[in-house]
Amino acid sequence: MNLVRPLGGDVTIWMDAPPAEVWALVSDVTRIGEFSPETFEAKWTRGSTGPEVGAHFAGHVKRNGVGPTYWSPCRVTVCEPERVFEFAVGTDSVTANNWGYRLTPRDGGTDVTEYFRLETSLPMRVYWALLGRLRGRTNERGMRTTLERMKAVLES
């Protein structure tokens, strides 16, 4: 029996939209400010112009929706159109966590799962042991808000 809680979490919401429409939204990082309660803008960086493995972007974050405010460098790590869009947050040499979206066609629409996964380094395991439950709840609320806002746009 594994007594260690996973270093992450996820939220799934069904959307009445085909995977292609959902994909266009979740993989366009420049639109995240319309949906996320923490990341209020993002831009492609280092010459990147769209979603592909290795593309770089930066997210402008207001932690917990109140601050501090900072730019987070990100790199696309998985890019499977209409299936998975995932990115690592951190520097070129150190990844702090990973965020992503999994799309699964169902009942004429799409199950959209937003997830996060912390790296398993010792500092991250200690952080998760001390603050994981609280941060995990905050992230899950934020993911649900993000997905509900996306759903509203896609279904309008």
Per-residue pLDDT of the chain (156 residues; tens, 9 = 90+): 344 456 888 999 999 999 999 999 999 999 999 999 999 999 999 999 999 999 999 999 998 777 789 999 999 999 999 999 999 999 988 888 899 999 999 999 999 999 998 877 777 778 777 877 777 888 899 999 999 999 999 999
What is the four-CA torsion angle of 127, 129, 135, 140, rounded to 10 degrees? 130
Contact predicate 55/27, CB 8 Å: no
In a 3-state reduction of DSSP, which class is residue 78? Answer: strand
pTM of the model: 0.90
Domain boundaries, the chain: 14-155
Measured between alpha carbons, how far is 37 from 106 in angstroms, rounded to an integer? 27
CATH number for the domain whose boundaries are 14-155: 3.30.530.20
59-93 exposure pattern, b = at least 16 Cβ within 10 A, e = fewer = bbbeeeeeeeeeebebbbbebeebebbbbbbeeee
Measured between alpha carbons, how far is 135 from 119 in angstroms, rounded to an integer? 15
